[in-house]
Amino acid sequence: MKTSGKNPKRHDNYFIVSSVSVHVEWINCRRWHDAGRETKIKSNMKNKIIAAGLLAAAIIAAGCATEKQEQAGLQAQAKISREQAQQTALAKAPGTVKEGELEKEKGKLIWSFDISTPDSKDITEVGVDAITGEVVSVEKETPEAQAKEKD
């Protein structure tokens, strides 16, 4: 780099010399450097987003596996089958079973069924003891109560 006989003066990361090309080269170099840095930042963000998504999927899969194991354990304890409990529940509250599950409530193993009737928006929840087959609860739920229960 020629400096026309004088010592170059430093000014904001480039040297003032007799030729403008040094400044232009520095600007081009700086743009390339910034573009590379921006690409690297975007790449790092993509990697973080992908990693977070994979972590969330793994947690959900683990939760589903745990829930299936729990349900299998509960069904092994039940002496009354789902079909038998469902027939008992429908005898108590005729309609269509929307949902049924085996759960522990207050220390008891219960088959719980949500039953809808064509003439009402309410759901009747019928609980059947999974050991004895007896109806242990019958509750009407309004659509508002159902929405709260889902949350």
Class assignment of domain 78-150?
alpha beta
- Report yes or no on whether pTM surpasses 0.75: no
Locate the domains of the chain by residue range: 9-74, 78-150
Residue 86 pLDDT class (50, 70, 90 cuts): very high
* 103-142 per-position pLDDT tens digit: 988 889 999 999 998 888 899 999 999 999 999 999 998 8
Could you give the C-alpha distances from 46 to 35, 39, 49, 131, in angstroms and in order? 16, 10, 5, 52
E-state strands within 50-150: 96-105, 108-116, 123-129, 135-141
